[in-house]
Structure 1
């Protein structure tokens, strides 16, 4: 009884805190089908042409554009040294709150630029890419008020898009379905830009989920914690979202489907919750520089529209604080002795097997928790350099530039790694091409 009273009190306090923040116009609080969503994105792009770039990363099975709104003081290009961030919503077509939250967030960011110091700084120093709907076909099949059903969850081909990415245990040839158009579009998008941080918004409970999602096939217990090399970092950034949310951090969503569910701090390792193969967050971590989490934002997958203002109030602060987390750890440039950028340099933190790669301008970002870290930087044709750094805070980034000296004839060379436009390795892009070809020819490999 005492626990229940405490929970209700915390919910009430949280909602009061949330409603005190700035609000967007109430006319936006409606469900946007594909036509109205596209119209809103076009309107924002036209009204805020100096802050937005509207582009499509591909099409759904039914030919609907997967539109992305880039929001920044420099929306049309990558600014060297500035991180790229992304939000993805509506991957499951019947989980709709994330879709609406990202539309409201877009409006809020644009309306607040120049008047809100925090958001102005964020847009001046970050490019934010918002994909409100990864599964627009599924959304058109779903219906309001369906809290627990699956109608609209899958894409038009009946495929669960969050089981359609290859991971460390399931190669593309062993996926249960060929790569879908939506999956291919997102994979190409991930490889096309030096994304640093991302979140994928879902519905069905209230919790932030972090990698790994999958387990080796020989694990009989499919709810076993599977730590990735950056487990501490992932728990830190997951709690940034959960603790900025009025109730998520309490860890008791009280969803009618499972009212005893508990998540310590409002976060959980994906495999410890329930193992799934082919998740998008695992793919981001394994095949790019990007760190992604999966954020469940509502118990009901498609609640009635009168509840939309409450969902915005609960998640507004969390959505912004999570974006700010892209500015933590260490960043800088990898340069040669002449001050020219070195793309495709490998940045390795001692004791951590996960590496990141410098982009085409030589810029890099490595999210890290506070503390001491030894960083090694290597590149083809250059001598390895090492630096010990100390990060004093999880709320700010430390700039560290690395200058590499070219190897001489008598020095050992590092393994050759060819470079590509955005700073990813040729091997990485060949891997993606192989995946696409494998899917297209129907698993002949």
Structure 2
């Protein structure tokens, strides 16, 4: 399956995205003229690493990786700072502009984060290390391009390499097997199941949108039912000629509103956090949950063999890509040690650790033995999405400000403060401003 997945990824994944900087650009960071890969010969080193691997399976794999790394290289100590995705996104941009920036950071590869960090010269190009460690043999170009930017940060998907991810991601539908006898085979059957759950007095679709970004995944999943991969890819990567004002996007917005009107979401969903929502699903409250594969380990622990995962049935596209990549900051005093750490946590052995802790590895998929049950569902779903050429990037990649724009606009849409047309007009205004440049 590995060769097929790599080939399909090359056809289906292309990138562009962008925005967090504070202050003016200081220009691109310089790549080192030479690199050292003998980590044991680097002397006594302490590396400060910031990541967002805070949930069960994510935290478990990172703890195991660091322990193994320090055992292999006792001269290098890891000072780890772990934060939630939202906290990391908020604090990282400030930290990178300070004098005490971490050595290694896990940065969202969208334009609003990595693109701006590259533009400000805060991340170091990794190409020399990529060549020395032969990362190109482990990772296909279709994966690496999600962490590539031009030196000025303007073009996403081409140029220098600024990060390396550990995991693959796909957004799909978790379902409670005690409530769904047979997974729906079509979009119409899925909506019928939502209505059936409502009539039975259950929460049809568990959902919390206080953080704003969760609705991006739900709306993206609905849009996947109506728009072809090429349409979404061009839009999400900020390509010329793309637009938000199409019949497919209008229909997707109307469907999302109808779900709220029909009571398919829990009461007060716009005021409930993302974590409390999926945790409620883990307690058996709710029939379905639209979320990414990063919740695999936690939901497996909470529900055991009662939880399943499926790609949205019958859709034309599937949202997904890579997890947040790890990069090296321009303030790192030990970039060779930082590169050795990134190489270690993305190695073939690391992929085995990721699998054993309930995560979805981005490389060596065919070499992994996925456990039965939920993990098997997720491995199969990710492989199918990539193999079929259905995988499309996240919508908030589209412009440097789209993450904030679409998150706020979706809250307004679901709160009936904006019509579907007003919602799309707001996104188009953001996109046009960016594309016009």
Shorter-chain TM-score: which interval? under 0.3
TM-score normalised per structure 1: 0.24
TM-score normalised per structure 2: 0.25
Q: Going by fraction, where is strand more abundant, 1 or 2? A: 1
Considering Cα pairs closer than 8 Å and 6+ residues apart, tell me whether 1 or 2 has the greater RCO: 2
